[in-house]
Amino acid sequence: MFGGQMPVIKVGRMAGQFAKPRSAEFEEKDGVKLPVYKGDNINGDAFDEKNRNPDPQRLIRAYSQSATTLNLLRAFATGGYAAMQRVTQWNLDFVEHSEQGNRYQELASRVDEALGFMNAAGLTVDHPIMTTTDFWTSHECLHLPYEQSLTRLDSTSGLYYDCSAHVLWVGERTRQLDGAHVEFLRGLSNPIGIKAEVRAFFDVHEQEGSHPGGIHLEMTRQNVTECIGGS
Protein backbone atom coordinates (compact mmCIF):
# COMPACT_ATOMS: atom_id res chain seq x y z
CA MET A 1 0.00 0.00 0.00
CA PHE A 2 2.83 2.38 0.91
CA GLY A 3 4.93 1.53 -2.14
CA GLY A 4 2.12 1.54 -4.70
CA GLN A 5 0.02 4.28 -3.08
CA MET A 6 -3.01 2.09 -3.70
CA PRO A 7 -5.45 0.32 -1.38
CA VAL A 8 -4.68 -3.37 -0.95
CA ILE A 9 -7.19 -6.12 -0.26
CA LYS A 10 -5.54 -8.86 1.79
CA VAL A 11 -6.66 -12.42 1.08
CA GLY A 12 -5.16 -15.47 2.77
CA ARG A 13 -5.41 -19.11 1.72
CA MET A 14 -6.37 -20.48 5.11
CA ALA A 15 -9.18 -21.77 7.32
CA GLY A 16 -10.66 -24.44 5.09
CA GLN A 17 -8.09 -25.89 2.67
CA PHE A 18 -8.31 -29.48 3.89
CA ALA A 19 -9.21 -31.30 0.65
CA LYS A 20 -6.83 -32.21 -2.16
CA PRO A 21 -7.78 -32.78 -5.80
CA ARG A 22 -6.56 -36.12 -7.11
CA SER A 23 -6.30 -37.52 -10.63
CA ALA A 24 -6.76 -41.16 -9.54
CA GLU A 25 -8.96 -42.86 -6.99
CA PHE A 26 -6.40 -45.44 -5.85
CA GLU A 27 -2.68 -45.65 -5.08
CA GLU A 28 -0.61 -48.84 -5.18
CA LYS A 29 2.61 -49.59 -3.29
CA ASP A 30 4.37 -52.98 -3.12
CA GLY A 31 1.28 -54.75 -4.41
CA VAL A 32 -1.06 -53.04 -1.90
CA LYS A 33 -3.86 -50.93 -3.41
CA LEU A 34 -5.55 -48.30 -1.25
CA PRO A 35 -7.65 -45.17 -1.81
CA VAL A 36 -5.54 -42.08 -2.51
CA TYR A 37 -5.05 -39.42 0.13
CA LYS A 38 -7.68 -36.75 -0.53
CA GLY A 39 -6.92 -34.32 2.28
CA ASP A 40 -7.26 -34.32 6.04
CA ASN A 41 -11.00 -33.70 5.99
CA ILE A 42 -11.50 -37.01 4.16
CA ASN A 43 -8.73 -39.46 5.09
CA GLY A 44 -5.16 -39.70 6.35
CA ASP A 45 -1.83 -39.48 4.53
CA ALA A 46 -0.29 -42.62 6.07
CA PHE A 47 -0.40 -45.57 3.66
CA ASP A 48 -2.54 -48.03 5.58
CA GLU A 49 -6.17 -49.11 5.39
CA LYS A 50 -7.24 -47.37 8.60
CA ASN A 51 -5.91 -43.96 7.52
CA ARG A 52 -6.98 -44.16 3.88
CA ASN A 53 -10.61 -45.06 4.57
CA PRO A 54 -12.83 -41.92 4.54
CA ASP A 55 -13.90 -40.78 8.02
CA PRO A 56 -16.90 -38.39 8.28
CA GLN A 57 -15.66 -37.17 11.68
CA ARG A 58 -12.78 -35.52 9.86
CA LEU A 59 -15.25 -33.02 8.37
CA ILE A 60 -16.32 -31.98 11.87
CA ARG A 61 -12.71 -31.53 12.96
CA ALA A 62 -11.90 -29.56 9.81
CA TYR A 63 -14.81 -27.20 10.49
CA SER A 64 -13.75 -26.72 14.13
CA GLN A 65 -10.14 -26.03 13.15
CA SER A 66 -11.25 -23.54 10.49
CA ALA A 67 -13.47 -21.70 12.96
CA THR A 68 -10.62 -21.57 15.49
CA THR A 69 -8.25 -20.21 12.85
CA LEU A 70 -10.72 -17.48 11.90
CA ASN A 71 -11.18 -16.49 15.54
CA LEU A 72 -7.40 -16.20 15.97
CA LEU A 73 -7.16 -14.19 12.75
CA ARG A 74 -9.85 -11.78 13.95
CA ALA A 75 -8.03 -11.36 17.25
CA PHE A 76 -4.76 -10.51 15.48
CA ALA A 77 -6.44 -8.20 12.96
CA THR A 78 -8.33 -6.14 15.55
CA GLY A 79 -6.29 -6.60 18.72
CA GLY A 80 -3.32 -4.39 17.90
CA TYR A 81 -1.08 -6.89 16.12
CA ALA A 82 -1.88 -5.25 12.77
CA ALA A 83 -1.15 -1.71 13.98
CA MET A 84 1.01 0.24 11.52
CA GLN A 85 3.30 1.17 14.40
CA ARG A 86 4.41 -2.47 14.45
CA VAL A 87 5.45 -2.48 10.80
CA THR A 88 9.13 -3.01 11.58
CA GLN A 89 8.23 -6.06 13.70
CA TRP A 90 6.40 -7.88 10.92
CA ASN A 91 8.61 -10.41 9.21
CA LEU A 92 8.67 -13.82 7.64
CA ASP A 93 11.35 -15.82 9.43
CA PHE A 94 12.40 -17.79 6.36
CA VAL A 95 13.25 -14.62 4.38
CA GLU A 96 14.52 -12.57 7.30
CA HIS A 97 18.16 -12.80 6.21
CA SER A 98 17.52 -12.84 2.47
CA GLU A 99 17.52 -10.06 -0.12
CA GLN A 100 13.72 -9.89 0.11
CA GLY A 101 13.93 -9.58 3.89
CA ASN A 102 16.37 -6.71 3.62
CA ARG A 103 14.13 -4.92 1.10
CA TYR A 104 11.17 -5.31 3.44
CA GLN A 105 13.08 -3.91 6.39
CA GLU A 106 14.13 -0.92 4.31
CA LEU A 107 10.55 -0.22 3.27
CA ALA A 108 9.27 -0.80 6.81
CA SER A 109 11.75 1.77 8.12
CA ARG A 110 10.43 4.33 5.62
CA VAL A 111 6.86 3.67 6.77
CA ASP A 112 7.97 4.01 10.39
CA GLU A 113 9.59 7.37 9.62
CA ALA A 114 6.40 8.57 7.91
CA LEU A 115 4.36 7.58 10.96
CA GLY A 116 6.82 9.41 13.21
CA PHE A 117 6.46 12.55 11.12
CA MET A 118 2.65 12.32 11.24
CA ASN A 119 2.76 11.98 15.01
CA ALA A 120 5.15 14.92 15.38
CA ALA A 121 2.90 17.04 13.16
CA GLY A 122 -0.04 16.35 15.43
CA LEU A 123 -1.84 13.95 13.10
CA THR A 124 -3.43 11.10 15.02
CA VAL A 125 -2.05 7.63 14.30
CA ASP A 126 -4.37 5.74 16.65
CA HIS A 127 -7.30 5.77 14.24
CA PRO A 128 -8.79 2.28 13.60
CA ILE A 129 -7.52 2.46 10.01
CA MET A 130 -3.99 2.62 11.41
CA THR A 131 -4.41 0.02 14.16
CA THR A 132 -6.60 -2.70 12.59
CA THR A 133 -6.96 -4.40 9.24
CA ASP A 134 -9.53 -6.30 7.20
CA PHE A 135 -8.43 -9.78 6.15
CA TRP A 136 -10.29 -12.14 3.84
CA THR A 137 -9.97 -15.90 3.43
CA SER A 138 -9.91 -18.09 0.35
CA HIS A 139 -9.67 -21.73 -0.68
CA GLU A 140 -10.53 -24.07 -3.52
CA CYS A 141 -14.17 -25.14 -3.71
CA LEU A 142 -13.37 -28.83 -3.89
CA HIS A 143 -15.35 -30.93 -1.42
CA LEU A 144 -18.90 -30.15 -2.49
CA PRO A 145 -20.81 -31.74 0.44
CA TYR A 146 -18.75 -29.60 2.85
CA GLU A 147 -19.24 -26.43 0.80
CA GLN A 148 -22.96 -27.05 0.35
CA SER A 149 -23.50 -27.50 4.07
CA LEU A 150 -21.95 -24.08 4.69
CA THR A 151 -23.94 -22.24 2.01
CA ARG A 152 -26.58 -19.81 3.27
CA LEU A 153 -29.34 -17.65 1.77
CA ASP A 154 -29.01 -13.94 2.56
CA SER A 155 -32.57 -13.05 3.55
CA THR A 156 -32.04 -9.36 2.79
CA SER A 157 -30.82 -9.81 -0.79
CA GLY A 158 -32.06 -13.26 -1.78
CA LEU A 159 -28.50 -14.22 -2.80
CA TYR A 160 -26.63 -17.38 -1.85
CA TYR A 161 -23.18 -17.25 -0.24
CA ASP A 162 -20.79 -20.06 0.62
CA CYS A 163 -19.72 -19.09 4.14
CA SER A 164 -16.73 -21.46 4.25
CA ALA A 165 -14.61 -18.62 2.77
CA HIS A 166 -14.91 -15.14 1.32
CA VAL A 167 -13.31 -16.04 -2.03
CA LEU A 168 -13.64 -19.47 -3.62
CA TRP A 169 -11.91 -20.79 -6.70
CA VAL A 170 -12.44 -23.64 -9.12
CA GLY A 171 -9.35 -25.75 -9.73
CA GLU A 172 -7.69 -27.37 -12.71
CA ARG A 173 -9.36 -30.74 -12.18
CA THR A 174 -12.87 -29.44 -11.44
CA ARG A 175 -13.43 -26.68 -14.00
CA GLN A 176 -15.46 -28.69 -16.54
CA LEU A 177 -18.24 -26.45 -17.84
CA ASP A 178 -20.78 -29.26 -17.44
CA GLY A 179 -19.40 -30.40 -14.07
CA ALA A 180 -20.91 -30.19 -10.61
CA HIS A 181 -18.35 -27.71 -9.24
CA VAL A 182 -18.97 -25.10 -11.94
CA GLU A 183 -22.72 -25.56 -11.55
CA PHE A 184 -22.47 -25.08 -7.78
CA LEU A 185 -20.28 -21.97 -8.05
CA ARG A 186 -22.59 -20.51 -10.70
CA GLY A 187 -25.26 -20.03 -8.04
CA LEU A 188 -23.05 -18.23 -5.53
CA SER A 189 -22.50 -14.50 -5.06
CA ASN A 190 -19.00 -14.92 -3.58
CA PRO A 191 -16.11 -13.61 -5.65
CA ILE A 192 -14.93 -16.59 -7.71
CA GLY A 193 -11.38 -17.36 -8.80
CA ILE A 194 -10.37 -19.54 -11.75
CA LYS A 195 -6.97 -21.22 -12.22
CA ALA A 196 -5.64 -20.26 -15.71
CA GLU A 197 -2.32 -19.27 -17.19
CA VAL A 198 -1.79 -15.56 -16.42
CA ARG A 199 -1.55 -14.22 -20.00
CA ALA A 200 -4.60 -16.20 -21.08
CA PHE A 201 -6.43 -14.86 -18.04
CA PHE A 202 -5.96 -11.28 -19.22
CA ASP A 203 -6.72 -12.21 -22.85
CA VAL A 204 -10.08 -13.75 -21.93
CA HIS A 205 -11.11 -10.69 -19.94
CA GLU A 206 -10.15 -8.41 -22.82
CA GLN A 207 -12.24 -10.45 -25.25
CA GLU A 208 -15.22 -10.44 -22.90
CA GLY A 209 -15.01 -6.73 -22.15
CA SER A 210 -14.48 -7.35 -18.43
CA HIS A 211 -11.54 -6.59 -16.16
CA PRO A 212 -9.35 -8.90 -14.06
CA GLY A 213 -10.07 -8.48 -10.37
CA GLY A 214 -6.63 -9.75 -9.34
CA ILE A 215 -4.22 -12.65 -9.61
CA HIS A 216 -3.18 -15.28 -7.09
CA LEU A 217 0.55 -16.04 -6.96
CA GLU A 218 1.35 -19.21 -5.00
CA MET A 219 4.70 -19.39 -3.20
CA THR A 220 6.28 -21.89 -0.85
CA ARG A 221 9.75 -22.88 0.21
CA GLN A 222 8.69 -26.52 0.06
CA ASN A 223 9.15 -28.69 -3.03
CA VAL A 224 5.44 -29.04 -3.86
CA THR A 225 4.27 -30.01 -7.34
CA GLU A 226 1.89 -27.08 -7.72
CA CYS A 227 4.85 -24.67 -7.66
CA ILE A 228 7.38 -26.60 -9.79
CA GLY A 229 5.16 -27.54 -12.73
CA GLY A 230 4.00 -31.01 -11.65
CA SER A 231 0.47 -32.39 -11.61
Write b or e for each residue in 49-70: b if 16 or more Cβ atoms lie within 10 A of its Cβ, otherwise e: eeebeebeebbeebbeebeeeb
| CA distance linking residue 221 with residue 199, whole number of Å | 25
Question: Quick check: 25 and 36 in contact, CB under 8 A?
Answer: yes
DSSP letter assigned to residue 37: P
Annotated binding site: which residue ranges? Answer: 13, 172-173, 195
Question: Quick check: 127 and 3 in contact, CB under 8 A?
Answer: no
- Gap between the terminal Cα atoms of the chain: 34
Q: Which residues contact 88 (CB under 8 A, 6 or more apart)?
A: 105, 108, 109, 112
DSSP string spanning 146-190?
Answer: HHHHTEEEETTTTEEEETT-SEEEE-TTS--TTSHHHHHHHT--S
Annotated binding site for phosphoenolpyruvate: which residue ranges? Answer: 13, 172-173, 195
Enumerate the β-bridge partners of residue 159: 154
